[in-house]
Structure 1
Amino acid sequence: MARIAVIGAGMGALAAAARLAVAGHRVVVYERTDTYGGALRRFERDGFSFDTGPGLLPLPAVYRDLFVKTGKEPLEACVDLVQVDPSSRHVFADGTRVSLPNASRAGVVAALDEALGSGAGKRWGDFLVRAREAWDRTRRPLLEEPLWPNWQVLAEREPYPAVPHKRLLRTRRAGTLAEVGAWELRDARLTALLESHALAYGLDPRTTPASAAVLPYLEHAFGTWYVRGGLRELARAVYERCVARKVEFRFGADVTGVLEKDGRASGVELADGTVAEADFVVAGVAPGTLDRLSAPARVRGDGEVPPQPASASRVTVLLALRGARPEGTAHRTVVHAADREAELDALFGTAARHPRPTVTVLRPDDPRLVPDPDHEAVTLTTVVPARPDEPCDDLTENMITVAERAVPDLRDRLLWHDVRTPADIAEATGAEGGAVPVPALAAGGGRLLHPSNSTRVPGLFTVGGWAHPGGGLPHAGMSGALVAGLIVEGPEFRGSQ
């Protein structure tokens, strides 16, 4: 039985802790805040309850596998997991609206043809076929296996089978997501639909490789899911599974250093001077934090994937509304920006903040979120640069104005609102600027890969959104499985079969 110290109680760290405890190890989790779950937090006021992190769960199979491998009770016995249908509703710049069925290619094709005109659905359906090929090519190396030592192969090879595009005397293939939209989808609204999946992670579609086609495909193939009571309930269930497997938790325990002895990790030092010895250390922290805990030159060497720089964050507006949620309301509505280029320049360039950003509106049909049936809890989210000190008052008003396209009587029904900024994300997760990590993607020169779960320091591993395979709830759960495999089976571990 090995002693394992886990730094942080985010979802990747919890997933690793539960798996390692089941394997017979003594696991202690040190969390600097007073709770678990990382970005999966909850805000409650006046009988209203809101998720302040992710509001939907793609690819629930990752957490189903976690619960199967760590105990007799399956995931569905611990949380009320439901499929969201329609998967999403979209309000485009020209006023066109479309609701997309959950995990139904034929239904999506029919809905797009009806809303956008004949042929739109087929173009999107054909795109999904190509996106599936990219998914099949990258699923194992990017999600189910430890990062390859020759990761440059993933960085250089574009897995998306782009359609040849003839222009004048040249034939080109899309290399970015924006080019996929322009050359293959050929409709500004379909392009907005495509790019919204990248934008949700703070990715610029103009520079994001075409391999990001796997993001909409993942949602299409595996559905969109919600946990009743909010996604915080998923964090609770994973935490309770850890406790049931005898994982120890030390909250309010700020780790200030990773200790080494004889050239390998030997434990952690806490802010109060306490030393906790360990045979392995698992760091579920952002790169900047890990650099402070252990010298960067010791953790990462030349030729390894560097940490992804802080880029984009989110602002979330929590709305308490009087009046019941109308029958037939979509759980998720994406209201697209009227000026795509202006929004992208504001997010990824030097232009001023765009006054009418793309806003995601979440309106769960969940009585556990409201004081009674005559009220509704609504959450608005938009992407912003990772600058925690930037004021958000004007942006909040702009987001509410945009959301009125999805909730026409919003201001008349508004009781109060609360705002979560990049500074709040930074406080919850420790990520510089409140940055949100992106999922690992192939091509693009490796810009969207993440550092390996193993480090140059024997016995020190990294887990969570800032390590392989990157950000997002499914990816965090996968990172936990990879780290547990590397510790239990050793360097020869090659992932799930």
Structure 2
Amino acid sequence: MARIAVIGAGMGSMAAAARLAVAGHRVTVYERSATYGGAVGSFERDGFVFDTGPGLLHLPAVWRDLFLKTGREPLERCVSLVQVDPASRHLFADGSEATLPDASRAGIVTALESALGGGAGERWGAFLGRARDAWDRSRRPLLEEPLWPDWRVLERDPYPAPKRRGLLRTRQAATVAEVGAWELDDPRLAALFEGCVLGYGLDPRRAPASAALLPYMEQTFGSWYVEGGLRELARAVYERCAARRVEFVFGAEVVSVVERDGRAAGVVLADGSAAEADHVVAGGGPPSTAPGRELWGEGDVRPPEEAGGGPLPGRLSVLLAVRGARQASAVHRGVVHAPDTGVEAAAVFGGRVAELPTVTVLRPDDPRTRPDGRHEAITVSATVAGHGDGGRAGVDWSDKALRERCAETLIDAAARSLGESPAALRERVLWHEILTPAETGGIPAPALAGPGGRHLRPANTTRLPGLYLAGGWAHPGGGLAHSGMSGALVAGLIVEGADFKGSR
């Protein structure tokens, strides 16, 4: 039985902790805050409950597998999962709209053709077919296996972009924006793809075409809601850890990793105390280590922040406590698309505020999120530039006037999604709460194959033996499902060592 210190109680860290405890190890989690869950948080006031992180779950099989592998009680006995159908309602800049069913490629194709016409459904269906090929080609190395030492084999984009003969040369779409312009051939379909990618913290102008995996994943495996909010999933994972005798120490900030005899040997806390360990698992980003220790060598994939540039994009959310019952016809997820996603992305990744962003409106039909049937909890959000001091260093989200001005823009978009005037919606709002990247941090993007490996994330192992990385900042990257996969990979590497070939 090994002693294992886990830094942080985020979802990836807890996923690793539960699996390691079941394997017979003694696991202690050190969390600097007063609670668990990391980015999967909640805000409660006056009987209203809001998710402050992700609001929907994709690939629930990742978390079903965790509960299956760590005990006899399945996930559905610990939380109530509801499939969201229809999956989303999209409002485009030209006034057209489309409501898409959940996890039905044929239904999505029919809905898009009926709403947009002109062969839009057929083109989207063909796009999803190519995305499926990319998924089949890259799923295993990107999601289910540790990052290969020879990761450069992932520099080839797995998306089979059709070749188009031009006047001077044959061309293929290499980026998300080019797929939208050259293959989807409709600004509304392009907005559908680009808006999805931007929501994952990726720049559609530069993200590789393999980002087609993201809408494919959502539209193939479905969107799921956890009754009570996604925070309930975090609670269930925490309780599974506790049931497997994982020890949690809250209010305990780890400031460095102890190195002894050339390997990780424990952690040092902010109060000066130290805890010995045979292995250390770090969630939430690379930790400090002994002086002079380099976690990555020449040719290794490094954290994106080491590449320079401004802070990662984050999320602006406005939590609306609303008077008035939710209509029976209301859709759980509405998306109001920006007139030009390219202009929006230039602002987000250029450290500026987008004038008209893509806005997502979540309206769960859940009595647990509202005081009674005469009220409704609505979350409105957009991807925005990260928190900084302005310019390329991000947006100063501590500016109260800026926060309120941007919140008003989101409320206007929410009113459109709800089918009412901005004035009418504001009249129904009892109060609102604003959350920005200053409070919630940046969005770690999922790993993608593509040129230069620019969208890969650091391996779960490091150059310091015994030190592992889990969560959205390590392979296979950000997102709730990806974080769960990261925890499974770290547990496999510790338990099976060099024999571990990937999750099964």
Give TM class, smaller chain. Answer: over 0.9
How far is 1:294 from its partner? 4.9
Give the letter aligned to residue 361 of structure 2.
V
Counterpart of 2:25, as a letter, is: H
140 and 296 in structure 1: CA distance in 2 versus 1, 3 angstrom threshold: farther
The one-letter code matched in structure 1 to 2:187 is: A
Residue 295 of structure 1: how far off its partner (Å) = 5.3
Measure how far apart 1:221 and its partner are. 1.3
**CA deviation string 1:104-141 (max 9, x = no partner):** 11111111011101411010001000000000011000
Partners of 1:373 and 1:82 lie apart in 2 by 19
1:192-237 Cα deviation digits (max 9, x unpaired): 0011111102211111100000000001111011100000000000
Q: Does residue 464 of structure 1 match 2:471?
A: yes
Residue aligning to 1:422: 437
Q: Which amino acid aligns with 2:2?
A: A
The alpha-carbon deviation at position 413 of structure 1 amounts to 1.2
Name the SS for the 2:98 alignment partner. Answer: strand
- Equivalent residue number for residue 89 of structure 2: 89
Q: Is the 8 A contact 2:353 2:385 kept in 1?
A: no
Matched-pair contact (CA < 8 Å) for 1:208–1:444 = no
Alignment partner, residue 377 of structure 1: 377
SS in 1 for 2:109: helix
TM-score between the two structures when normalised by the length of structure 2: 0.94
| Residue matched to 2:211 | 212
Residue identity in the other structure for 2:179: V
User: What residue identity is the alignment partner of 1:402?
Assistant: A
Alignment length (residue pairs): 484
What amino acid sits opposite 2:224 in the alignment? W
In structure 1, give the amino acid aligned to 2:471: G
Where does the alignment leave 5 or more consecutive residues of structure 2 unmatched? Answer: 306-310, 389-395
Distance of 1:381 and 1:57 partners within structure 2: 16
2:483 match: 476
In structure 2, the partner of 1:264 is: 263
**Which residue does 1:429 correspond to in 2?**
none
Secondary structure, aligned partner of 1:122: helix
| Alignment partner, residue 150 of structure 1 | 150
In the TM superposition, 1:315-464 aligns within 5 A as 315-349=316-350, 352-388=352-388, 389-390=396-397, 391=399, 392-407=403-418, 408=420, 409-425=424-440, 434-464=441-471
Q: SS where residue 125 of structure 2 aligns?
A: helix
Provide the C-alpha distance between the structure 1 equivalents of 2:257 and 2:332, rounded to a whole number of angstroms. 44
SS of residue in 2 equivalent to 1:207:
coil
For residue 184 of structure 1, report the CA deviation from its aligned partner.
Answer: 0.7
- Over aligned residue pairs, what C-alpha RMSD do you find? 1.2
Letter aligned with residue 299 of structure 2: G
* Shift in alpha-carbon separation, 1:200–1:5, aligned structure 2, 3 A: same
Structure 1 residues 153 and 297: alpha-carbon distance in aligned structure 2, compared to 1, 3 A threshold: farther
Work out whether residues 198 and 345 of structure 2, in 8 Å CA contact, stay in contact via their aligned partners in 1.
no
Query: Could you tell me how far apart the structure 2 residues matched to 1:218 and 1:73 are?
Result: 26
Contact 1:6 1:284 in 2 (8 A): yes
Unaligned runs of 5+ in 1: 426-433
Q: Secondary structure at the match of 2:6?
A: strand
Structure 1 contact 463–483 (Cα < 8 Å) conserved: yes
Offset, 1:183: 0.8
Q: Secondary structure at the match of 1:406?
A: helix
CA contact (8 A) 1:347 1:384 kept: yes
2:211 matches 1:200: no
Write the letter of the residue equivalent to 1:419: I
> Secondary structure, in 3 states, of the residue corresponding to 2:106?
helix
Tell me the SS of whatever aligns to 1:474: helix
Q: Give the secondary structure class of the aligned counterpart of 2:417.
A: coil
Instruction: Give, in whole Å, the separation in 1 of the partners of 2:145 and 2:365.
Output: 37
Deviations 1:304-333 (A, max 9, x none): 001012421111110000000111111001
Write the distance in 1 (CA, Å) between the matches of 2:108 and 2:435.
33
Contact 1:30/1:250, CA 8 A, preserved across alignment: yes
Whether the 8 Å contact between 2:194 and 2:341 is mirrored in structure 1 is no
1:281-296 equivalences under 5 Å are 281-287=280-286, 290=287, 292-294=288-290
Q: Distance in 1 between matches of 2:292 and 2:164?
A: 44
- The amino acid of 1:25's aligned partner reads H
Q: In the aligned structure 2, how far is the partner of 1:339 from the partner of 1:302?
A: 39
Runs of 4+ in 1 over 4 A off after TM superposition: 293-297
The answer to which of 402-411 and 200-209 deviates more is 402-411
User: Which residue of structure 1 aligns with residue 176 of structure 2?
Assistant: 177
Letter in 2 for 1:237: A
User: 1 CA distance for matches of 2:329 and 2:163?
Assistant: 41
The within-5 A match list for 1:216-255 is 216-255=215-254
1:298 paired residue number: 294
Change in 2 beyond 3 A, CA 1:397/1:484: same
